[in-house]
Amino acid sequence: MKEFVAEVVSIGRLRHRNLVQLLGYCRRKGELLLVYDYMPNGSLDKYLYDQPAATLNWSLRFKVIRGVASGLFYLHEEWEQVVVHRDVKASNVLLDGELNARLGDFGLARLYDHGTDPQTTHIVGTLGYLAPEHTRSGRATTHTDVFAFGAFLLEVACGKCQ
């Protein structure tokens, strides 16, 4: 519980236009829940797969890809610690009122200091987005996030689930 609260406090301090803002957490029926900003257009996968009311043209798709890339760069390079998301995929990208992409769902994220090695040893994430070296070593790094981002790029470009 102590580690969970420490990570919630850290992730709650992340501020970037392409990240969903973590507002806090609550405990409900013994389960810990994270509370994020409301995104009126829901998740990106709805626009890629679920017969959406609006279709994403190439301009919007590029805007989404650029937004997620910007958010990942902030997490990996610009924030005070390195944040490895560990689950980059269309269902974890939310769209605000103007269809700007915001990376969300930091439930699997891990933080570590710049210049140090991550201490993750469990393989977590979604099949199809997991880097081969992650499945062999169990270590999640910024490189494994970049691999997942590549799978995400194919998903957005092709409209096919990984």
Half-sphere exposure of 131 (CA within 13 A, CB side): 19
pLDDT at 109: 78
Output the domain CATH number for residue 31: 1.10.510.10
Convert the pLDDT of each residue in 36-84 to its tens digit.
889 999 999 988 887 666 678 999 999 999 999 999 999 999 999 999 8
C-alpha to C-alpha distances, 41 to 53, 54, 102, nearest whole angstrom: 11, 10, 11
Q: Domain of residue 122: give its range.
A: 1-158
User: What is the reported pTM?
Assistant: 0.84
Domains identified in the chain, total number: 1
So which residues are the catalytic ones?
A: 87
Across residues 123-139, what is the average pLDDT? 67
Integer Cα distance of 23 and 152 in angstroms = 26
Q: Is 20 helix (H, G, I), strand (E, B) or coil?
A: coil
Convert the pLDDT of each residue in 99-117 to its tens digit.
999 998 877 777 777 877 7
Residue 161 pLDDT > 80, yes or no?
A: no
The token duo for 73 is 């760069």
